[in-house]
Amino acid sequence: MATWLMWGLQVMSALFIFCIGLVVFIVICLYIQDVTQTKQAIRRNYPVIGRFRYLFEKQGEFFRQYFFAMDREEMPFNRAERSWVYRAAKNVDRMVAFGSTRNLDSPGTILFMNCAFPTLEEDAVPTSKITLGPFCKHPYTTSSVFNISGMSYGAISKPAVLALSRGAAKAGCWMNTGEGGLSSYHLEGNCDIVFQIGTAKYGVRDENGQLSNQLLREVAGHPQVKMFEIKMSQGAKPGKGGILPAAKLTAEIAAIRGIPQEQASISPNGHPDIRSPEDLLNMINRIRDVTGKPVGFKAVLGDDKWLEKFLDLVVRRGEEEAPDFITIDSADGGTGAAPQPLMDYVGLALKESLPLLVDMLIERGLKKRIKVIASGKLIVPSKVAWALASGADFVTSARGFMFSLGCIQALQCNKDTCPTGITTHNPRLQQGLDSTDKAERVGCYHKYISYGVGLISHSCGVKEPRKLRRHHVKIVSENGLSIAMDKLHPVPEEGSHPLSRGDTDRAAK
Cα–Cα distance measured from residue 384 to residue 456, given in angstroms and rounded to the nearest whole number: 10
Confidence check: pLDDT of 339 > 50: yes
pLDDT at 41: 64
pLDDT of residue 308: 96
pLDDT at 61: 59
Beta bridge partners of 373: 327, 394
Find the Cα–Cα–Cα–Cα dihedral 294, 298, 301, 305, rounded to 10°.
-50
Q: What is the pLDDT of residue 139?
A: 98
Percent of the chain residues topping a pLDDT of 70: 91
- Collapsed DSSP state (helix, strand, coil) of residue 73: coil
Is the pLDDT score of 267 beyond 90? no
Single-letter residue type at 228: F
Of the pLDDT bands very low, low, confident and very high (cuts 50, 70, 90), residue 375 is very high
Residue 225 pairs in a beta bridge with 193
pLDDT in tens, 214-266: 999 999 999 999 999 999 988 776 777 777 777 777 888 888 888 887 777 77
Residue 26 contacts residue 35 (beta carbons within 8 Å): no
Strands, E assignment, 442-496: 473-476, 482-484
**Which among 152, 162, 187, 189 is positioned nearest to 433, based on CA atoms?**
162
Residue-level pLDDT at 197: 96
pLDDT above 90 (res 277): yes
What pLDDT is stored for residue 84 in this prediction?
86
| Residue 506 pLDDT class (50, 70, 90 cuts) | very low
Best mean pLDDT range from 2-16, 22-36, 388-402 = 388-402
Note whether 446 and 171 are within 8 A (CB).
yes
Length of the chain: 509
Does residue 148 contact residue 379 with C-beta atoms inside 8 Å?
no
Per-residue pLDDT tens digits for 158-199: 999 999 999 999 999 999 999 999 999 999 999 999 999 999
Q: State the DSSP H helix or E strand holding residue 350, giving kind and residue range, or none if neither.
A: helix 350-363
Lowest mean pLDDT among 329-343, 370-384, 397-411: 329-343
7, burial (CB in 10 Å: exposed 0-12, middle 13-18, buried 19+): exposed
Tens-place pLDDT, residues 45-67: 778 877 776 666 666 556 655 55
For 427-432, what is the mean pLDDT? 85
Task: Spell out where 168-266 has E strands.
Answer: 174-176, 192-197, 225-231, 243-244, 265-266
Q: Which band of pLDDT confidence, cut at 50, 70 and 90, is reported for residue 120?
A: confident
228-243 exposure pattern, b = at least 16 Cβ within 10 A, e = fewer: bbbbbbbbbbbebbbb
Pairwise pLDDT comparison (322 vs 508), residue with the higher score: 322
SS3 letters across 361-416: HHHCCCCCCCEEEEECCCCCHHHHHHHHHHCCCEEEECHHHHHHHCCCCCCCCCCC
> Number of helices (H) and strands (E), helices first, in the chain?
18, 15
137 or 332: which leads in pLDDT: 137
| pLDDT reported for residue 410 | 74
Question: What digits encode the pLDDT tens for the residues 69-98?
Answer: 555 556 677 778 888 888 899 898 877 767
Residue 447 has pLDDT above 90, yes or no: yes
Residue 1: pLDDT band (50, 70, 90) is: low
Contact 451/461 with Cβ under 8 angstroms? no
Average pLDDT, the chain: 87
Rounded to an integer, the average pLDDT of 354-378 is 96
pLDDT of residue 111: 94
Q: DSSP character for 123?
A: T
